[in-house]
């Protein structure tokens, strides 16, 4: 199987990651009723489902990402998929809350372990000038996963276990196909600073591997440190937004149904973020050679603009209605229409992040350390994401179950992450030059050794 087909399988894994995780969101009320009785929304217990899922994902990111730099990346991918499949089948057969919680934990552990390894594989397989595009496709794959997860989750709302079983079968299929056809890539092959070495000596092997010293250097890298700190706060805030999206629309004065809320998100709001991912990824790829810090500037502007916007959005109330059971009825509701337009604009802006953040990490870290860097990055992001729903659930209960006040307080957690990106504009150039110099030094050493062997 060719390299492109291997990447397709990786992209399918990104799709399944969001597919599996988004089966929960449209059914928070339904699952709460299933385990705790009709008419009861246990915000803290439902928040814990996501906290356990994301917390396990954070731990798995750290474990599997580091293993990917020490062992075969193919082996670590298959191991993560195995845990993931077990979690899906367990969740699909859960007969009580604690069994379902365990399924969510394994789901998070397996899918979390997959992500940093998959991101490192993309870096191994893709030239620098195309990475924004490929990471953009990964984001598109995840958005398609969001689409199918939310849609199927809503469609099977009264039989919510069925989609969990379907995804379990799809992951099993991926295990078999990737196990047979998945490919390991030569480290360093796509680095511009090493291309001359590979062109002159096709047998050249980039033999550098993760060591304790360069693991410590990861943590000493100031831009890395800022990205890690940012990940905790930014993803915490973003997870609050999605956790509150459905309950806010379903329990507000407009009484929207779960299916209509999903259709609103999938067909109206999501396309704006998909377009944003393509647009901002292209901007990053095009302008990076002219202005090396453009990706950082874009992300800094993203959080600066979107944070106050999402505060405003959750103060918009739908007009009172007995029910809003169709998209047509939703659009005739002035409050819901304004909420949708502003949410779509906010998602277009947040589309900056996914295609531009991974290339930044690639530029300032050596090939043999990228699995570990992605592991640490995903660890803190998943950690932030795991606490977001729990934190906003606690705030929600503390302020008299008022979503508007809870989200206003919650969005304040975005400010430290925003500050980190503005500071990174100053630290990035030095880290970039240091990484490029290191690769050029290794390339020159390899060329010298090649010439010596010929003599």
The whole-number pLDDT of residue 451 equals 60
Burial of 230 (0-12, 13-18, 19+ CB in 10 A): buried
* Segment 162-199, tens digit of pLDDT: 888 999 999 999 999 998 887 777 766 667 676 666 66
pLDDT tier at 139, thresholds 50, 70, 90: confident
| pLDDT higher at 276 or 31 | 276
Question: Alpha helix locations (H) across 126-190?
Answer: 128-155, 161-181
The whole-number pLDDT of residue 42 equals 67
Q: Give the start-to-end residue ranges of the domains of the chain.
A: 3-454
* Segment 376-388, tens digit of pLDDT: 887 888 777 777 7
Query: Which are the contacts of 84, defined by CB distance < 8 A and separation ≥ 6?
Result: 20, 106, 107, 109, 110, 111, 113, 114, 171
The whole-number pLDDT of residue 246 equals 76
List the Cα angle 1/15/71 in 5-degree steps.
55
Q: What is the DSSP string of 222-250?
A: HHHHHHHHHHHHHHHHHHHHHHHHHHHHH
The region of weakest confidence among 65-79, 95-109, 193-207 is 193-207
The whole-number pLDDT of residue 452 equals 60
| HSE-CB of 4 using CA atoms within 13 angstroms | 0
Residues 132-161 have a mean pLDDT of: 82
Is the pLDDT reported for residue 345 higher than 50?
Answer: yes
The whole-number pLDDT of residue 307 equals 92
The whole-number pLDDT of residue 253 equals 62
pLDDT tier at 245, thresholds 50, 70, 90: confident
> In the chain, pLDDT over 70 holds for what percent of residues?
89
Q: What is the DSSP string of 280-319?
A: HHHHHHHHTTT-TTHHHHHHHHHHHHHHHHHHHHTT--PP
Tokens of 404: 């508007």
Residues 104-118 have a mean pLDDT of: 90
Which residues partner with 324 through β-bridges? 256
Is the pLDDT reported for residue 2 higher than 50?
Answer: no
Q: Structure pTM?
A: 0.70
Mapped onto helix, strand or coil, the DSSP state of residue 256 is strand
pLDDT tier at 423, thresholds 50, 70, 90: very high
Beta strand spans in 3-42 (E): none
The whole-number pLDDT of residue 202 equals 64
The whole-number pLDDT of residue 175 equals 93
The whole-number pLDDT of residue 226 equals 94
| pLDDT higher at 225 or 33 | 225
* Segment 307-329, tens digit of pLDDT: 999 999 888 876 666 567 777 87
| pLDDT higher at 59 or 201 | 59
The region of weakest confidence among 107-121, 278-292, 382-396 is 382-396
Is the pLDDT reported for residue 138 higher than 90?
Answer: no
pLDDT tier at 80, thresholds 50, 70, 90: very high
Closest by CA to 115, choosing from 57, 69, 70, is 57
- Taking the C-alpha atoms of residue 160 and residue 158, their distance in angstroms, rounded to an integer, is 6
Tokens of 110: 């397996």
The whole-number pLDDT of residue 85 equals 94
> In the chain, pLDDT over 90 holds for what percent of residues?
23
| pLDDT higher at 302 or 189 | 302
Tokens of 117: 């390894």
- Taking the C-alpha atoms of residue 68 and residue 75, their distance in angstroms, rounded to an integer, is 8
The dotted CATH code for 3-454 is 1.20.1250.20
What CA dihedral angle connects 344, 388, 87 and 64, to 10 degrees? 100
The whole-number pLDDT of residue 1 equals 41
- Taking the C-alpha atoms of residue 378 and residue 358, their distance in angstroms, rounded to an integer, is 11
pLDDT tier at 115, thresholds 50, 70, 90: confident
| pLDDT higher at 6 or 20 | 20
CB 130 within 8 A of CB 355: no
- Taking the C-alpha atoms of residue 184 and residue 344, their distance in angstroms, rounded to an integer, is 39
Residue 16 CA: distances (Å) to CA of 173, 276, 405, 432 = 11, 21, 34, 33
Residues 333-348 have a mean pLDDT of: 88
| pLDDT higher at 19 or 446 | 19
What is the overall mean pLDDT for the chain? 83
């Amino acid at each position: 199987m060719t390299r492109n087909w291997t990447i397709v399988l990786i992209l399918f894994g990104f799709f399944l990651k969001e597919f599996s995780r988004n089966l929960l969101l449209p059914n928070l009320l339904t699952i709460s009723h299933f385990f705790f009785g009709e008419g009861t929304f246990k915000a803290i217990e439902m928040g814990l489902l996501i906290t356990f899922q994301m917390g396990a994902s954070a731990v798995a990111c750290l474990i599997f990402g580091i293993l990917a730099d020490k062992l075969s990346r193919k082996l670590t991918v298959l191991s993560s998929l195995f845990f993931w499949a077990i979690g899906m089948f367990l969740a699909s057969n859960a007969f009580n809350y604690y069994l379902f919680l365990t399924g969510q934990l394994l789901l998070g552990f397996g899918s979390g372990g997959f992500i940093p390894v998959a991101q490192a594989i993309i870096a191994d397989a893709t030239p620098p000038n195309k990475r924004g595009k490929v990471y953009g496709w990964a984001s598109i794959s995840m958005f398609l996963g969001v689409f199918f997860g939310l849609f199927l989750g809503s469609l099977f709302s009264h039989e919510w276990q069925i989609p969990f079983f379907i995804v379990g079968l799809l992951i099993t299929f991926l295990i078999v196909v990737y196990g047979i056809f998945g490919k390991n890539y030569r480290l360093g092959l796509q680095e511009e600073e090493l291309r001359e070495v590979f062109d002159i000596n096709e047998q050249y092997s980039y033999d550098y591997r993760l060591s304790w010293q360069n693991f410590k250097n990861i943590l000493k890298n100031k831009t890395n440190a800022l990205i890690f700190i940012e990940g905790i706060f930014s993803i915490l805030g973003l997870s609050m937004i999605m956790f509150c999206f459905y309950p806010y629309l379903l329990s507000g004065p407009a009484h929207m149904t779960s299916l209509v809320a999903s259709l609103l998100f999938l067909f109206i709001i999501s396309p704006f973020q998909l377009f944003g991912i393509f647009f901002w990824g292209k901007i990053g790829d095009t302008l990076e050679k002219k202005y090396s810090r453009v990706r950082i500037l874009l992300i800094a502007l993203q959080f600066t603009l979107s944070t106050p916007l999402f505060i405003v959005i959750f103060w918009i109330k739908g007009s009172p209605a007995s029910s809003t059971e169709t998209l047509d009825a939703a659009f005739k509701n002035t409050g819901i229409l304004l909420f949708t337009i502003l949410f779509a604009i906010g998602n277009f802006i947040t589309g900056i992040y996914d295609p531009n953040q991974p290339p930044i990490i690639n530029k300032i870290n050596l090939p043999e350390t990228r699995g570990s860097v992605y592991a640490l990055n995903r660890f803190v992001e998943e950690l932030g994401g795991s606490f977001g729903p729990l934190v906003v659930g606690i705030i929600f209960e503390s302020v008299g179950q008022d979503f508007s006040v809870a989200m206003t307080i919650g969005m304040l957690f975005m400010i430290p992450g925003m500050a980190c990106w503005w500071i990174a504009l100053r630290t990035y150039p030095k880290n970039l030059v240091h990484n490029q110099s290191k690769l050029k030094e290794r390339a020159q050493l390899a060329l010298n050794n090649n010439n010596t062997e010929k003599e």
